[in-house]
Amino acid sequence: MPRVFLAPYESPLLGSREDGGCAKPFSSLHAAMLRREWRYDYGDDPSFFSRLQHHASLTWGVCRPDVRTQSQEGDVVVFFSFTKTAQGTDYCLCAIATIEKKIKHSDIFENREHASYRKYLNLLVRPSSKDKSLWIHKEPGAPRKNWHKDWLGRVTAYRKYTSEELEQAAKAHQVRVGSHIGGRPFVFGQNYILFSEDPRLTAFIPSPPKVAHAMPYEAEKWCVDRLSRAIRRKTVGIAQSHGVLRSLRIKNKSQHAHSPVARWKDTTSAIDKWRSDIIHFLRAEGLSSKRQ
């Protein structure tokens, strides 16, 4: 049965000292974030910025490995950005996206079909120019000081290795196909997600509306305007009708306020009807259009 995931991602307010410099691959993204052009993620994952820059599909390949590894083709992700301010945390609805395909991170460089993603910012590895069996840890979407220490666990098969084994192996910032981690051969997992660009299956919101606000250690409180109430009813409300006992944010948890992600499952026909309804609603409200 397909599932729907309500997935918050952080879109932080950047200071001018965080633009990374004009020579860095992420400088254009950070400049756009400084101008608050859209609710982009700091490392562009999900890849809303790279999608526009390279005219390819939306992808998800770094954050939320728990969701990426467990999700399947046909599942739907509702992306909400959250931005921390001095007054708390604001939530905005950004996209409804249907998973079209899941590939390995290595497929981006080994399969010409996926070559357009080689310039994306939400990557974790790339092959060595001298040894194609050697994969180097490299995150083009962020300064090196912000690279993920647990990068290796984000590209491997789900639960194939222990966290301790991955932590030790990740310190080398490279991995060789055929090498062993904890006595088991290293293999890439199929956890780089490609989302459909079909407007019947995916809807992007050019001007994401603020729908909720949260104070530290508290669950979010939804705005009381008609639009926010309708969006809550069509997302969190549906999840709760399936027995989910929380919404976007977990109350009284400071470190993992958005983990695990709220989700529900239903029949294919029910999910199709729900998705069609919410995308039609967003277009009727002028928030999205068939032209992506």
Contact 210, 77 (CB under 8 A): no
Distance, in Å, from the CA atom of 47 to the CA atom of 184, rounded to the nearest integer, reads: 32
Task: Go through 96-131 and write b for each residue having 16 or more CB atoms within 10 A of its CB, e for each that does not.
Answer: bbbbbbbbbbbbbbeeeebeebeebbbbbbbbeeee
Q: What string of pLDDT tens digits covers the 292 residues of the chain?
A: 999 999 999 999 987 555 455 558 899 999 999 999 999 999 999 999 999 999 999 999 999 998 999 999 999 999 999 999 999 999 999 999 999 999 999 999 999 999 999 999 999 999 998 898 899 999 999 999 999 999 999 999 888 899 999 999 999 999 998 899 989 999 999 999 999 999 999 999 999 999 999 998 899 999 999 999 999 999 999 999 999 998 999 886 656 889 889 999 999 999 999 999 999 999 999 998 766 6
pLDDT at 158: 84
Contact 252, 217 (CB under 8 A): yes
pLDDT at 230: 98
Distance, in Å, from the CA atom of 263 to the CA atom of 235, rounded to the nearest integer, reads: 10
Q: Which contacts qualify for 74-77: CB closer than 8 Å, 24 or more apart?
A: 74/2, 74/98, 74/99, 74/268, 74/271, 75/2, 75/3, 75/4, 75/5, 75/99, 76/2, 76/3, 76/4, 76/5, 76/271, 76/275, 77/4, 77/5, 77/7, 77/195
Contact 238, 264 (CB under 8 A): yes
Distance, in Å, from the CA atom of 223 to the CA atom of 220, rounded to the nearest integer, reads: 9
pLDDT at 96: 98
Output the CA angle 7-63-205, nearest 5 degrees.
45
Distance, in Å, from the CA atom of 270 to the CA atom of 74, rounded to the nearest integer, reads: 13
pLDDT at 23: 59
Length of the chain: 292
pLDDT at 257: 87
Distance, in Å, from the CA atom of 78 to the CA atom of 6, rounded to the nearest integer, reads: 5
Report CA 32 to chain centroid distance, whole Å. 18
What pTM, to 2 d.p., does this model score?
0.95
pLDDT at 20: 53
Neighbouring residues of 181: CB distance < 8 A, sequence distance ≥ 6: 152, 156, 161, 165, 166, 169, 175
Distance, in Å, from the CA atom of 140 to the CA atom of 105, rounded to the nearest integer, reads: 14
Q: What H or E segment, with its residue span, contains residue 54?
A: helix 48-54
pLDDT at 146: 92
pLDDT at 289: 77
